[in-house]
Amino acid sequence: CKAIMADRIIDLRSDTVTRPSPAMRAAMAAADVGDDVLDGDPTTRRLERRVAELLGKEAALFLPSGTQGNQVAIHVLAPRGTEVIAEANAHVLHFEHSGAAVLSGVALVAVPSRAGVLEPDAVRAAVRTGSAFLPRTAALEIENTHNAAGGRITPPEVMDALCAVARDHGLPVHVDGARLWNAAVALGVPAARLVRDATTVMVSFSKGLGCPVGSCLAGPRPVMEEAWHARARFGGAMRQSGILAAACLYALDHNLERLAGDHANARCLAERLAGHPAVHVVPPETNIVMLDLTRHTAQQAMDLLAARGVLVSNFGPRRLRVVTHLDVTAGDVERAAEIVADQLR
């Protein structure tokens, strides 16, 4: 890989930092639009139909963010005063500002796992049924890939087993698939295969696919009709949203398969830092690399790297998160690995 200019900032904080390409901006500017609240935006409707087809669901709904997609799903699947089971380090538990409790009156039950992948037996043990004195379990939430676990994939057979446990107890399943596209590309399977038994699934376009804004929630048509009202209730109904939806359609055409390159760059970074005395590398499955520090605090390491133009995220007192994305080249990753190795030595 070619070396890069020393003064270039290599931003590995998140795959949300990407900027729309000139071609994506052109697609947005040329979008056919209408009032999506009054009578439907044609480009948004086209995106919703395509996402529903890709995920094997009856209908889909375009929303501003993945957090809103998760919260809308909880709102329509779980009645007030009930519980939703989620993995203990799930995004919905830690990074959505207690939205389930505040917006829907729903409690989230944290179930520990190994490396972010829920175990069917642990979920089964967490389900509460049949007592007049305990809150009722209303739904199961699964995050795939799992952000805090380093982009960990829940494989198809485990997804099937988890959905079977939910089905045995009459529970709907919501999948936080903000990076489901990454899981599908890494496994070489259609996204629909991973969520075939789920009730609802949220997918994001503002991460690996490089869009400025946007997520979709997909599921059965009656559920999506309720979700339409919940989206409006939460302030997510948009007017000429086709300008944003056009970026998502462009991304599905041009940025989906290239996720494999992000995964390769993540592996490259991990390989370059393997065996470093100050860093323990969590082997990546997708585009997220977790670095556990042995000699520095996370803040110390972030400051040292920022001084050399490499930006990373703090993910714990001694853990850094590094995320590869479409605005980071293979050369950038090589250079970033050199800087990490040098600065933390």
In 3D, which of 187, 231, 179 has the Cα closest to residue 210? 179
Q: How far is CA 102 from CA 65, 98, 158, 253, 266, in A?
A: 18, 6, 31, 37, 37
Show the tokens assigned to 329. Answer: 């080249």
**Contact assessment for residue 287 and residue 151, using Cβ atoms and an 8 Å cutoff:** yes
pLDDT at 7: 59
Please, which residues have CB within 8 angstroms of residue 254's CB and are 6 or more apart in sequence?
23, 24
Please, which residues have CB within 8 angstroms of residue 75's CB and are 6 or more apart in sequence?
103, 104, 106, 230, 233, 234
The Cα–Cα gap between 243 and 200 comes to 25
pLDDT at 130: 78
The Cα–Cα gap between 291 and 343 comes to 14
Report, as ranges of residue numbers, the positions in the chain whose pLDDT lies below 70.
1-7
Show the tokens assigned to 209. Answer: 């696919």
Question: With b meaning 16 or more CB within 10 Å and e meaning fewer, what string describes 119-154?
Answer: bbebbbebbeeeeeeeeebbbbbbbbbbbbbbbbbb
Residue type, 87: E
How many other CB atoms sit within 10 Å of the CB of residue 98? 10
Tokens 């979008």 locate to 31
pLDDT digits (tens, 9 = 90+) for 158-177: 999 999 999 999 999 999 99
pLDDT at 8: 82
User: Nearest 5°: phi and psi at 114?
Assistant: -100, 115
